[in-house]
Amino acid sequence: MDGRGRALDNVFCERLWRSVKYECLYLRVLETVPEVREALTWYFDLHNNRKPHQALNYKTPRTVFEKERMGLLLKQ
Q: What is the pLDDT of residue 36?
A: 96
Nearest to 47, CA basis, from 69, 27, 13, 24: 24
pLDDT confidence tier of residue 2, bands split at 50, 70 and 90? low
Question: In the predicted model, is pLDDT for residue 12 greater than 90?
Answer: no
CA distances to 4, 10, 13 from 7, in Å: 8, 6, 11
Burial 12-30 (b: 16+ CB within 10 A, else e): eeeeeeeebeeebeeeeeb
> Whole-model pTM?
0.74
Report the pLDDT averaged over residues 31-35. Answer: 97
